[in-house]
Structure 1
Amino acid sequence: MSNSNTTNFTNPSIFILVGIPGLEAAHVWISIPFSIMYVIAILGNFSILFIVKMEQSLHKPMYYFLCMLAITDLVLSTSTLPKMLSIFWLNSREIDFSACLTQMYFLHCFLVTESGIFVAMAFDRYVAICDPLRHSIILTNSMVAKIGLGMVLRGGMLVLPFILVARQWPYCRTNIIPHSYCEHMAVVKLACTEIHVSNYYSLSVVFCSLGLDQFFIAVSYTQILRAIFSLPTKDACLKTFGTCGSHLCAILAFYIPCLFSVLTYRFGKNMALHFHVLIASVYLLFPPMINPIIYGVRTKQIRDRLLRLFTHKGT
């Protein structure tokens, strides 16, 4: 295997994932918090899906979008962490070329999709607070389904050019990826061709999807805050704003690590490589882990259902 790692080739059958470069000796220890985060993400998001399915009172647009978020988080974490753990535990670093591109596609597609779902949730809160009488008319079940499908299609269409171009490029330098998963820029840097077009396109996707999404979320919450501050009493303001608290926390948990990772990868040239890879790995696991906790703690209907579930089991 060592000879093939530096041999010239144009169509590699496999890539070699390093894991966390420079921290290979600590892989087993690093796997412990990663495993805990993954288990919490799996249990938490499946619990959200189960509770919304079983509780008839939660069959509303807000909770349908929450289910979409839970499914997206499950795909995001599952598309990367099992392979990471096989690297950390078993030193199983090989990944098929097609499997690498598939992982890259699902990863970036559902990152864009999750960002879009946050926009849909912000729109739901905007209509519920600013135009409550028309909420059930605007956000029907069919409209919610169309919005969810649109977000998935948007993510898939924006990310597909990454994969098509990466598949056609020749790779004649090395097949060693200094990363714990098939991150787009880590892969295309191995190509022995001009990659500036790919760099510009990836940046445009980041700013035109995540950037515009944040803009629409900011506009929605500007209108929401105006409506809240016009309420007659302080208690009414706090109660109304409380319905947005979970969503705001989830937005911050997603965008802050994501943007930090993107900015450090693009502009933090002096930072150690293992720091880049650790941040990029953690930000894929942190939102899927924290989102069900946020909604479980802050959303009364879900919290009450969870308490009833555990109380019944206890008796």
Structure 2
Amino acid sequence: MGYVQVKRGLDVVGAVLALLLLSPVMAVIALLVLIFHGAPVIFVQQRVTQGERIFRLRKFRSMRAADPERGRVSDEDRLTAFGRLLRSTSLDELPSLWNILVGDMSVIGPRPLTTDYLCLYTEQQARRHDVRAGLSGLSQVSGRNCLDWDDKFDLDVRYVETMSLALDLRILLRTVTTVLRRQGVTKDHEATSDSYGGTLRSDLVFFRQAPAVGPVRSWSVETAGGRPVGRCQTLAVSERARMIRFDPAPAPATAPDFTARSHATTDAAVFAEVLRLVVNRVRSANADFAVCSL
């Protein structure tokens, strides 16, 4: 019997015991969710697990219902203090024990993400679906929401390649300490992270983040050889709207004729890559506007 079969047996036993032991806690949380957020108590969303199979993930609701008349439209507006507590302590995940019991998930594995990301993974990143999605995983105990998406997916693939009982036990123990200490909630001390808009890695250009100035985040953009390409910024244009803009670096002095054609070819490839990365950042930041002067 291989570890995959053993792992499934351990998942079933663990889910049954956890549901029995934690049922009083879940009942109290359900009542508090009903008081703070209203019905329904359980949030259900389509997520992706092994073999890119889509299933219905269950969690406790951490947000109030959208209410445009009261200005509750964005996730930030709808997320309550109680909801932040649920997320930062991972108590909102307790209903997912049912998903483990029925075989949608495992206790340990790559986190199940939304179906929106399926078309955005690289071939390497898609390998995270070679195993069942998990309640906790290697990336969750290695930085949680403080990690960039590309780094998270690297850890997911590493888990797929090295999965074992010893590794699962280490991750489980580290999960307990990480949650109790509320480590790595997010870069901005919130219980949420940016969306995934596609890989931000490139062999042609690099985005080097500068220190944030208020709500403005800036990156200097350079080629692999260190030549300045431009500057990218995310900024708020109103209380609710965000914009991403890219401004190219000033054009260098005119190159000699014998290099002009090669520079033009190189610049076209570089700016095409910049455009791809800016589009991915737009999706990641859920920006309302994008300005790209290429």
* Bigger relative contact order (CA 8 A; separation at least 6): 1
Greater helix percent: which structure? 1
Both proteins in one fold, TM over 0.5: no
Normalising by structure 2, report the TM-score.
0.30
